[in-house]
Structure 1
Amino acid sequence: MAALAGKRIGLLTARASRTNGGVFEAVVRQVDLLKTLDAQPVVVAAEDDSHAADAWRLAGAEIRLAQIHGPKHPGFAPRLTPVLLDAGLDLVHLHGIWSYASRAATRWSKATNGPLVISPLGMCDAWMIERNRWKKNLARLAWEKSAWSNAMAFHALTPAEAGDIGRECGAQLIGVIPSCASPPSQPRQTMPPPMVLYLGTIHEKKNLVALMEGWLAALPDLPPDASLVVAGWGDEEGVTALERFLEPMGPSIEFVSAAFASQKAALLELARFLVLPSSSEGLPISILDGWSAGIPAAISPACNLPEGYANGAALKCGPDRESIKTALIEALRIEEPEWLSMSRAAQALASGTFGKEHIAGQWRRIYEDCLGVLSPAQLERQISGKIPQ
């Protein structure tokens, strides 16, 4: 780890707040990992209204912001490049694509000849590519192709995403490293009450309407005290629309807005199952944190966590109402001995495959390889073990 001691690693992203959804969660985790590796994380982003409320989650990182001019998407912030250049960075790690941050990353790389690593974080998924494709085509021509050609390496969360990145970005050097889970809590001794928890952003790809419709359809076959809690955050318009939709749904569904730190821990303590019927994901941190807390999950294949099915920590749940209904009924019919077995399997994954120490070691090797004086051929040999065949 000494090789990274004192190195200034720039974590560049569109916005350093909850408005950046799962990308912000990835940045929060990367700050923590970099501190573990004795490096200095420097978060660089365009400023937005939610940053002040969320800055505490980046404790230990330097934070440098640039003002947005015009609409929040794609986040035109012309001062991003000077901010990057003034930060004295040894490496820039871009989190997320399709925003103006990609152009700033390219300019920094060209000006300094410094290494650029790109984590698309699920944004090359076919579902995401089709959404507002014309905007992505403009971004591709305006700045993304240049950023991709200047990147020393790409990071994929899963082998499936590595294929997406290769297809969309033409990338060759792709290291596959999953997100890391929180440290596991004490093993569960009893099964919680029949509360199912959704924890994440309010976004159409999460299929929240189908989730709530599936819940209501399943309700006659669920325990009488069963409840669904939706703990989510997003733009004001999306949250308002969700609240209106929830009004006639009845008392078995509750919306509790954003949940972090102690509020999140309290919800995880009470939940029997997590549910995430997404159409598109990178690798959902909310499920990993649920596994750390010993909570099994009902998740769609788009969550890219087949380990959950294979190891008995998750049930398969499609993105449509009927599939969600079936999964919810199955989840809440599980008896305590089987549930406790699933809980132990979930924590084993959180401490093993997705454990912090294991993931930090993988990132140490990637960063050290990129910071070394290596030719492209040497770098390819160094990280070839992480390139899916």
Structure 2
Amino acid sequence: MNVIHVLEDFSFQSGGIRTVVLDLHTRLLNNNINSKILTTRIEDGDQAIKVEGETTPWRYSKNLKSTLKSLNSKNEISLIHIHGVWMYPQYATAKFAKQNNIPFLITCHGMYEPWLWSQGTLKKKLYFNLVVKSAFSKANYLHAITHNEANELKALFPNTPTVEIPNLIDSELAIEDSYNGEEKYVLYVGRLDSKKGIDLLIKAFSNLNPKGFKLKIAGNFSDYKLELDQLVVSLGIENKVEFLGLITGEEKIVYFKNAYVFVAPSHSEVVGMVNLEAAIYKTPVITTFQTGLKKEWSNNGGILVNPNVEEIESALKTALNWTLEQRNENGLKLHNFVLKSYSWQYRFDDWVKLYQNMLK
């Protein structure tokens, strides 16, 4: 079996999508299933096929189709797994797959969620209805990450089969090192984008103004950071908020496991990987119902809220008033919940069976 993953961006800038695709790709290789990644943007050292389009509008790539054609002529494509929905690589690959009778599925990664439709609605609706709907509807499967997303996809593509598999995390990431408590801080990790609700977290933290705690915000700097900087200054909490920039590797692990609590106040997400990462390192997590996590999250050491200042502030107040023992107990409970519900060890076979079914 030869699986080709296609997405427009495999760099760190793509956030959780890179993590999801890399994890699946690596897991397939480790189980003797051939897997390749094709994209317009990578990081140094990535084992991926890079095509043109990194700097072009719509990520248009002149050599995408020729690259796919070359791979297909050498019998290196059994099926294609498309990730994302809004750029040229996804659209062109879907058309190529259909024209060449290659089975394909699309993971939408929450990009058709209601909150996102409300941002630039007319342009997105025109693109969806006039450009991609016909091509995407011919997929063998649409992959949903949550039950809510599955229902949304069924409404958009009523005649295309939908399969639900959550984002998964590697339990081997779990470490024995415990929280050191040297510095008390609330942590956010992710893109600096209005979708992520970071402004709500800053306001909630400012209202609470917890003694001895800092708010650390990690993510590649963007134009949106200027708005967040202005917000921090207007609230007079410059000395309590720290922007870390992009953190990766061991540095990210250290920040995760030593946060008193992790907060991801997103307006829209599909099981954000950062929530699972924080939990696997035994750090309690406050996040939103809109991330698509199971409701049992709130009964297993985490807290689910709606993305508004009042509910985030209330959850923060609860978490920051935990004793150290309570904090560690909740972190361990959430860790165990994630292992059972969202780990590759329990759910990898779901992917193998889906791919095998596509090839029948």
Q: TM-score with structure 1 length normalisation?
A: 0.84
Deviation string, structure 1 residues 206-227 (Cα, Å, up to 9, x no partner): 11111111111011xx2x2211
The answer as to 2:88 corresponding to 1:100 is: yes
8 Å contact 2:264–2:287 — kept in the other structure?
A: yes
State the match for 1:33 in structure 2: 27
Residue 225, structure 1, aligned to residue 243, structure 2? no
Percent identity (aligned): 20
Counterpart AA for 1:276: A
Unaligned runs of 5+ in 2: none
Structure 2: distance between partners of 1:157 and 1:300: 16
**Greater Cα shift, 117-126 or 344-353:** 344-353
Contact 2:51 2:61 in 1 (8 A): no
What is the letter of the counterpart of residue 26 of structure 1? V
Post-superposition shift, 1:8?
A: 2.2
Aligned equivalents of 1:146, 1:79: Cα separation in 2: 23
Secondary structure of the structure 1 residue equivalent to 2:49? strand
2:287 to 273, 276, 299: 299
Taking a change above 3 Å as real, the CA distance of residues 12 and 142 of structure 1, as seen in their structure-2 partners, is farther
**Aligned counterparts of 1:259 and 1:100: Cα–Cα separation in 2:** 29
Residues 68, 335 of structure 1: CA spacing in aligned structure 2 closer, same or farther, 3 A cutoff? closer
Residues 310 and 325 (structure 1), Cα distance of their counterparts in 2 relative to 1, 3 Å cut? closer
Deviation at residue 126 of structure 1 after TM alignment: 0.4
1:194–1:225 contact (8 Å) kept in structure 2: yes
Which is worse superposed, 292-301 or 141-150? 141-150
For each residue in 1:46-75, what CA deviation from the matched residue of structure 2 results, as whole angstroms up to 9, or x when unmatched? 24xxx3xx344x4xx43232235742xx22
Q: Cα–Cα, structure 1 residues 99 and 189, in superposed 2: closer, same or farther, change >3 Å?
A: closer
Matches of residues 1-389 of structure 1 in structure 2 within 5 Å? 7-47=1-41, 51=42, 54-56=43-45, 58=46, 61-67=47-53, 70-71=56-57, 74-87=58-71, 88-183=76-171, 184-186=173-175, 192=181, 193-219=183-209, 222=210, 224-233=211-220, 236-247=222-233, 248-307=236-295, 309-372=297-360
1:201 is paired with a residue whose SS is coil
3-state secondary structure, aligned to 2:125? helix
Going from structure 1 to structure 2, the CA distance change for 1:240 and 1:175 (only over 3 Å counts) comes to same
User: What TM-score results when the alignment is normalised by the length of structure 2?
Assistant: 0.90
SS of the counterpart of 1:11?
strand
Instruction: Identify which of structures 1 and 2 has the higher relative contact order when contacts are C-alpha pairs closer than 8 Å and 6+ apart.
Output: 1
> Aligned residue pairs: how many?
352
Deviation at 1:89, TM superposition (A): 1.6
Contact 2:16/2:274 (8 A) holds in 1: no
Return the alpha-carbon distance in structure 2 between the equivalents of residues 66 and 91 of structure 1: 22
Code of the aligned partner of 1:215: F
CA 1:171–1:281 in structure 2 vs 1: closer, same or farther (change >3 Å)?
farther
- Does structure 1 retain, via aligned residues, the 8 Å contact 2:300–2:337? no
> How well do the aligned residues superpose, as a CA RMSD in angstroms?
2.1
Q: What's the CA shift for 1:19?
A: 3.0
Name the CA distance, whole Å, in 1 between partners of 2:220 and 2:162.
Answer: 31
